[in-house]
Amino acid sequence: MANPCTLCSASCCKDLYITVTIFDIVRISDNLKQKPEEFALIYPLRLINFDNDTVLEMHDRKYLEEHILCLKSHPCMFLQGRKCTIYGFSPSVCKAFPKGIDGKWKTRLCPAVSGFMFRTLGFGARLRPTYLWELDTYKRIVAEWNRKRGKKAECVEFLLARAKEELGKKSAIE
Ligand code: SF4
Ligand code: SF4
């Protein structure tokens, strides 16, 4: 059966903010040998109803600013034509899409036929087994960052250091 995405011009990769966890960043950075700042950014959040547990608070000014960790998007810098050039290690959100992290279909951008195929014919995103661990651990790290009331320039370094620490602990017990 055809992949529903072959009927589409990769709308999700072109139009959405690709929100990631710090573990996605580590994986992409290791595979591409690129620094996080070459492909990711901390983007000011101007939305409400986001997943509050992944919102990073910055305390550079008197008032609190909210940001979110994203790939460089619109379109995603890893999109070439209609192909993902990092398919093997693309972010968990991409592996899951068009299911959201809440497990619900997000087929609004999909052509009608593709959306139908996803929702009714058994197509569907397969999540990496480590996805839930990464997401839960990332939320914990974000909460630590928010308690710290840190400044934006220090944020990625903090997240990376904590991610590496958590990955080290995980591999020690596996
Ligand atoms: S998930 Fe939907 S929007 Fe994204 S490429 Fe597939 S069909 Fe298009
Ligand atoms: S990483 Fe790949 S799948 Fe994810 S948005 Fe970018 S091009 Fe699309």
- The predicted structure's pLDDT at residue 131: 81
Going by CA atoms, what residue is nearest to atom 4 of ligand 2? 94
Q: Quote the CA–CA distance of 164 and 168 in Å, as a whole number.
A: 6
Which percentage of the chain shows pLDDT scores above 90?
66
Which among 73, 51, 55, 50 is positioned nearest to 65, based on CA atoms? 55
The ligand with the least distance to the CA atom of 24 is 2
pLDDT > 70? residue 108: yes
pLDDT digits (tens, 9 = 90+) for 44-96: 987 666 677 899 999 998 888 999 999 998 899 999 999 999 999 999 889 88
pLDDT digits (tens, 9 = 90+) for 116-142: 998 887 666 666 667 889 999 999 999
The ligand with the least distance to the CA atom of 18 is 2
Average pLDDT over residues 137-156: 96
Q: Quote the CA–CA distance of 83 and 68 in Å, as a whole number.
A: 25
- The predicted structure's pLDDT at residue 99: 86
Query: Dihedrals φ, ψ of 41, to 5°?
Result: -150, 160
pLDDT > 90? residue 102: no
DSSP-derived letter for residue 128 is -
Rg of the chain in Å (alpha carbons): 17
- The predicted structure's pLDDT at residue 126: 63
Which burial class, exposed, middle or buried, applies to 76 when counting CB atoms under 10 A from its CB (0-12, 13-18, 19+)?
Answer: buried
Going by CA atoms, what residue is nearest to atom 5 of ligand 2? 13
- The predicted structure's pLDDT at residue 155: 97
Q: 97: Cβ below 6 Å to ligand 2?
A: no
User: What is the torsional sign of CA 121, 93, 12, 28?
Assistant: negative
